[in-house]
């Protein structure tokens, strides 16, 4: 019994320590003079390998999610003969919840794990150490561009996700199930508010982008420099960032629903 | 013995250095100097912390006691910014080359120049081609590191390490895992670069004949201490048991063949008794 | 992978995101670009607003001309004060118009329908619509229906 409590205590202390290290790491990465001339090409390169490479999975997932929500919603709404409300149902569920959350989960799986593996491999093969020995700070040269690219990419991906999912719902509802186009869009427009729904969804995705990328780059940087270490760190990135996204989603929704 | 050596003075001075990692003493109060313009070798069996010594000189690790000096500047007392500036004067060749895998050979060599200078791209191109020519790989400039053999990537790493014409260049196990031809090429390159460019070199290695053929002075480390030092000739004639065993590769000696363990017969008997008991 | 392709695809990526944002803003949430000064405010007091919510549309003849901004309780009169913002373009609402809270469909949400009057003077900013009809609550209607039919039954018994 004592040992169980002791174990709990030890792991909580370790957790606090790790969070502290991760926070310190983030501060060291972010608090520095920006160097736009040298930094901008690096950022664009990372936007390419983080954002553009995540685009296919986001597009495919979003069109399917929009269509599934359309189908399921139609079935339920038809029981109340309120199928014209389908547009509202699809748009609200996608813009408020599904868009930011699913895009963040996919982003963690696609870009987050790749980031961790890439940085972990650079550490394992001493590329980070050699950079340091050349007098170049890897936090600035390697971590910071990847971090910012992640924070910028996820909201952009989320906007694309939401728009495509709404189109997916339109395809199912209007083209396939025969709801009137006007009713579909006007019901949607009457119930979706730009500030309360669309902007809040994007705020969520900014927060998720911050968390997922932070976890990914920290796990990569703190990797134990072996092959097994990289695989463990990659797994940890996906697990931790998925849980963090879902937990944070609840917190943010609670704050936003509370009249914010 | 140190006072007898002639030269332009010392570039690196290590003063009563003690370093511990995980409660294990890696260096125990060692002092040594690296004279300017010479090739100094630091040798010893694997696991004696030779690489750690290079990390300490580069300021990536801090000593537990004692100090390191680079031309009378204390390395361990420097701020992060000062360290980054100091490292521009150092080049280091890592054990596994540590080339940036997502950049071509050309970009790898150009990397330190682009980071530290404001030179125009055409100027950088000339410099990179000169460095690559020196290691004989000008024709391989558009290859990716994954397409290079071990010896070639080490030569590219060498070209990158001297990209900014450093005063000091550190070689971490340059000969390990090389075939005889590339080993010969590297030996020749290190010697040639040191003499032609007037650099100071530190070689960390356990390949005795190759290192002895080019080093001006050798320190032998074992169990956290300097157990022998001198010119290659002096060490070859040295009768100290540590030096003798290391220089001639004897399987058993001061460094035992066996990892510390209880008595062999006792161990076997103990397992016999266990079997009987069960 | 040439630098040109990298830059172009990042540009396309950002462009796609902007397009998505525009679709969300104008097609999905019907964001109007009318700022504060492109609208004017009108008040109306209702005995009961039923299920009316802020952001509900305000219509004339079924055409949306504005939306409900806020709903407050008038402490003196025990009435609900509804603040509406009307597009400046639709500035010809007669002063004797009436505001009604109606329901879209049987189960839909409530909105305000304005029925124009006959005055030649038009509503100004911060004007008040005095004639209002409260929300018709479905529950009340059903209750009344049941009450009436029961009364009818009793009357029948007496006869």
pLDDT at residue A255 tops 70: yes
Q: Tell me the C-alpha to C-alpha distance, in Å, between residue C28 and each of A15, A66, A169, A192, A248.
A: 43, 14, 12, 7, 26
* Domain layout of chain A by residue ranges: 37-252
* Domain layout of chain B by residue ranges: 2-89+166-277
- The matching CATH number, chosen from 3.40.50.2020, 3.40.50.300, 3.40.50.2300, 3.40.630.30, for B2-89+166-277 is 3.40.50.300
Chain A residues with CB-CB distance to B85 below 8 A = 135
User: Can you read off the two tokens belonging to residue B247?
Assistant: 């220089």
Asked whether residue C125 is assigned to any structural domain, the reply reads yes
Question: What per-residue confidence (pLDDT) applies to B2?
Answer: 43
Task: Pick the residue of A130, A131, A142 with the most B CBs within 10 A to test the interface with B by mutation.
Answer: A130
Look at A126 and B85 and tell me if their CB atoms are within 8 Å: no
Same domain, C21 and C71: no
DSSP B147: G
Q: What is the pLDDT of residues C81-105, one digit of tens each?
A: 999 888 888 888 888 888 888 887 6
- pLDDT in 10s for each residue of chain B, 278 residues: 344 444 567 888 888 888 888 888 888 888 888 888 889 999 888 777 888 888 888 888 888 888 888 888 888 888 888 888 888 888 888 888 889 988 899 999 999 998 888 889 899 999 999 989 988 888 888 999 999 888 888 889 989 988 888 889 999 888 887 888 888 888 888 888 888 888 899 999 888 888 888 899 999 888 888 888 888 888 888 888 888 888 887 777 777 777 778 888 888 888 888 888 87
Q: Quick check: B169 contacting A, CB < 8 Å? A: no
Q: Quick check: B87 contacting A, CB < 8 Å? A: yes
- Rounded mean pLDDT of C29-51? 77
Angstrom distance (rounded) from CA C2 to CA A48? 12
Q: Specify the length of chain C in residues.
A: 159
- State chain A's mean pLDDT as an integer: 91
Q: Specify the length of chain B in residues.
A: 278
CA triple B45-B49-B55, angle to 5 deg? 140
Question: What per-residue confidence (pLDDT) applies to A212?
Answer: 96
Task: Pick the residue of B85, B94, B171 with the most A CBs within 10 A to test the interface with A by mutation.
Answer: B94
Query: Across chain B, where does the E strand assignment appear?
Result: 10-21, 24-35, 39-43, 65-70, 73-74, 90-93, 168-172, 200-205, 217-222, 225-230
Report A:136-165 residues touching C (Cβ under 8 A).
Answer: 155-157, 159-164
Same domain, C70 and C124: yes
Pick from B94, B115, B116: CB nearest A130: B94
Q: Tell me the C-alpha to C-alpha distance, in Å, between residue C99 and each of A260, C59, C139.
A: 29, 10, 21
Same domain, C23 and C60: no
Question: What per-residue confidence (pLDDT) applies to B4?
Answer: 42
Same domain, C139 and C85: yes
pLDDT at residue A217 tops 90: yes
Chain B residues with CB-CB distance to A122 below 8 A = 100-101
Q: What is the pLDDT of residues A92-146, one digit of tens each?
A: 999 999 999 999 999 999 999 999 999 999 999 989 988 888 888 888 889 999 9
- Rounded mean pLDDT of A76-86? 86
Same domain, C76 and C54: yes
CB B54 within 8 A of CB B202: yes
Same domain, C7 and C75: no
Angstrom distance (rounded) from CA A17 to CA B230? 47
Domain that holds residue C115: 36-144
Q: How far is C36 from chain A (nearest CA, A)?
A: 15
Q: Quick check: A174 contacting C, CB < 8 Å? A: no
CB C116 within 8 A of CB C60: yes
Angstrom distance (rounded) from CA B48 to CA B207? 14
Angstrom distance (rounded) from CA A15 to CA B228? 47
Same domain, C46 and C123: yes
Chain A residues with CB-CB distance to C21 below 8 A = 159, 163
Q: How far is C93 from chain A (nearest CA, A)?
A: 22
Chain B residues with CB-CB distance to A130 below 8 A = 92, 94, 98, 157
* Phi, then psi, of B167 in degrees rounded to 5: -80, -30
Angstrom distance (rounded) from CA A168 to CA C9? 24
Q: Tell me the C-alpha to C-alpha distance, in Å, between residue C50 and each of C42, C44, C70, C110, C134.
A: 19, 14, 14, 8, 8
Q: How far is A206 from chain B (nearest CA, A)?
A: 29
Asked whether residue C158 is assigned to any structural domain, the reply reads no
Question: What per-residue confidence (pLDDT) applies to B1?
Answer: 39
User: Which of A43, A38, A142, A39 is CA-nearest to residue B117?
Assistant: A38
Nearest CA in chain A to C55: A193
Q: How far is A75 from chain C (nearest CA, A)?
A: 18
Chain B residues with CB-CB distance to A129 below 8 A = 60, 94, 98
Pick from C9, C24, C105: CB nearest A48: C9
pLDDT at residue A45 tops 80: yes
Look at C24 and A163 and tell me if their CB atoms are within 8 Å: yes
User: Which of C32, C47, C125, C49 is CA-nearest to residue C79?
Assistant: C47
pLDDT at residue A151 tops 90: yes
Question: pLDDT tier at C33 (50, 70, 90 boundaries)?
Answer: low
Q: How far is A45 from chain C (nearest CA, A)?
A: 7
User: Can you read off the two tokens belonging to residue A81?
Assistant: 């003969």
Asked whether residue C139 is assigned to any structural domain, the reply reads yes
Q: Which residue has the tokens 């920006």?
A: A34
Give the dihedral sign, CA C139/C137/A78/A65: negative
Task: Pick the residue of C10, C15, C67, C109 with the most A CBs within 10 A to test the interface with A by mutation.
Answer: C10
Angstrom distance (rounded) from CA A32 to CA A11? 33
Angstrom distance (rounded) from CA A184 to CA A228? 52
CB A224 within 8 A of CB A249: no
Task: Indicate left, alpha or beta for A203 from its phi (over 0: left) and psi (-120 to 50: alpha).
Answer: alpha
Q: Quick check: B90 contacting A, CB < 8 Å? A: yes
Angstrom distance (rounded) from CA C50 to CA C48? 6
Angstrom distance (rounded) from CA A171 to CA B148? 52
Look at A126 and B96 and tell me if their CB atoms are within 8 Å: yes
Same domain, C40 and C25: no
Same domain, C4 and C68: no
Chain C residues with CB-CB distance to A157 below 8 A = 17
Nearest CA in chain C to A187: C28
Task: Indicate left, alpha or beta for B103 from its phi (over 0: left) and psi (-120 to 50: alpha).
Answer: beta
Question: What per-residue confidence (pLDDT) applies to C1?
Answer: 57
Q: Specify the length of chain A in residues.
A: 260
Nearest CA in chain A to B58: A133
Inter-chain contacts counted by CB atoms under 8 A, chains A and B: 55
Look at C21 and A159 and tell me if their CB atoms are within 8 Å: yes
pLDDT at residue C134 tops 90: no
Pick from C14, C28, C105: CB nearest A91: C28
Look at A52 and C14 and tell me if their CB atoms are within 8 Å: no
More confident residue, A60 or B94: A60
CB C34 within 8 A of CB C64: no
More confident residue, C10 or B259: C10
């Amino acid at each position: 019994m004592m040992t169980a409590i002791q174990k709990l205590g030890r792991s909580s202390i370790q957790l606090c320590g790790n969070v502290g290290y991760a926070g310190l790491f983030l501060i060291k990465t972010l608090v520095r003079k920006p160097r736009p001339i040298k930094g901008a090409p690096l950022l664009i390169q990372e936007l390419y390998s983080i954002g553009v490479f995540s685009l296919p999975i986001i597009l495919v997932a979003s069109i399917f999610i929009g269509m599934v929500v359309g189908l399921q919603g139609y079935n339920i709404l038809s029981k109340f003969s309120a199928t014209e409300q389908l547009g509202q149902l699809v748009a609200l569920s996608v813009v408020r919840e599904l868009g930011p959350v699913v895009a963040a989960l996919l982003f963690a799986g696609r870009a987050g794990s790749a980031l961790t593996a890439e940085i972990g491999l650079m550490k394992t093969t001493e590329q980070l150490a050699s950079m340091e020995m050349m007098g170049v700070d890897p936090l600035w040269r390697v971590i910071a561009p990847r971090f910012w690219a992640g924070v910028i990419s996820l909201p952009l991906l989320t906007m694309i996700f939401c728009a495509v999912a709404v189109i997916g719902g339109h395809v199912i509802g209007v083209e396939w199930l025969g709801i009137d186009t006007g009713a579909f869009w006007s019901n949607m427009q009457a119930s979706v508010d730009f500030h309360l729904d669309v902007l809040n969804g994007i705020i969520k995705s900014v927060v998720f982008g911050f968390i997922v990328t932070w976890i990914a780059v920290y796990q990569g940087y703190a990797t134990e420099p072996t092959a097994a270490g990289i695989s463990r760190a990659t797994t940890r990135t996906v697990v931790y960032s998925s849980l963090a996204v879902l937990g944070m989603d609840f917190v943010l929704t609670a704050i936003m629903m509370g009249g914010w | 013995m140190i006072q007898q050596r002639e030269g332009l003075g010392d570039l690196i001075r290590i003063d009563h250095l003690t370093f511990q990692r995980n409660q294990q003493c890696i260096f125990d109060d060692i002092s040594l100097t690296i004279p300017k313009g010479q090739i100094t070798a630091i040798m010893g069996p694997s696991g004696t912390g030779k690489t750690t010594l290079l990390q300490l000189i580069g300021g990536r690790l801090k000593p537990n006691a004692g100090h390191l000096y680079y031309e009378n500047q204390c390395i361990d007392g420097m701020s992060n910014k000062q360290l980054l500036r100091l490292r521009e004067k150092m080049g280091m060749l890592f054990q596994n080359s540590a080339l940036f895998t997502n950049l071509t050979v050309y970009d790898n060599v150009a990397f330190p120049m682009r980071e530290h200078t404001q030179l125009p791209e055409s100027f950088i191109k000339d410099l990179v081609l000169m460095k690559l020519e020196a290691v004989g790989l000008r024709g391989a400039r558009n290859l990716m590191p994954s397409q290079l053999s071990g010896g070639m990537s080490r030569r590219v790493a060498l070209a990158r390490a001297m990209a900014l014409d450093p005063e000091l260049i550190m070689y971490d196990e340059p000969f390990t895992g090389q075939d005889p031809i590339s080993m010969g090429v590297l030996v020749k390159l290190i010697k040639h670069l040191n003499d032609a460019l007037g650099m100071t070199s530190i070689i960390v290695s356990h390949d005795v004949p190759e290192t002895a053929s080019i080093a001006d002075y050798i320190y032998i480390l074992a169990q956290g201490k300097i157990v022998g030092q001198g010119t290659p000739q002096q060490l070859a004639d040295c009768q100290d048991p540590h030096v003798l065993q290391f220089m001639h590769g004897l399987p058993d000696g001061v460094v035992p063949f066996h990892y510390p363990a209880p008595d062999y017969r006792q161990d076997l008997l103990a397992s016999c008794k266990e079997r009987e008991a069960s | 992978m040439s630098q040109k392709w990298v830059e172009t695809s990042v540009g396309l990526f950002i462009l796609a995101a902007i397009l998505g944002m525009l679709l969300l803003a104008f097609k999905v949430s019907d964001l109007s670009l009318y700022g504060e000064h492109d609208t004017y405010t009108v008040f109306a007091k209702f005995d009961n607003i039923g299920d009316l919510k802020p952001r509900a549309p305000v219509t004339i003849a079924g055409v949306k001309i504005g939306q409900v901004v806020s709903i407050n309780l008038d402490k003196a009169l025990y009435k609900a004060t509804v603040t509406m913002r009307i597009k400046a373009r639709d500035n010809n609402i007669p002063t004797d118009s009436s505001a009604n809270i109606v329901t879209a469909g049987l189960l839909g949400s409530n909105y305000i329908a304005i029925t124009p009057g006959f005055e030649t003077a038009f509503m100004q900013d911060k004007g008040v619509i005095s004639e209002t009809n409260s929300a018709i609550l479905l529950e009340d209607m059903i209750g009344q229906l049941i009450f009436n039919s029961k009364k009818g039954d009793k009357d029948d018994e007496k006869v």
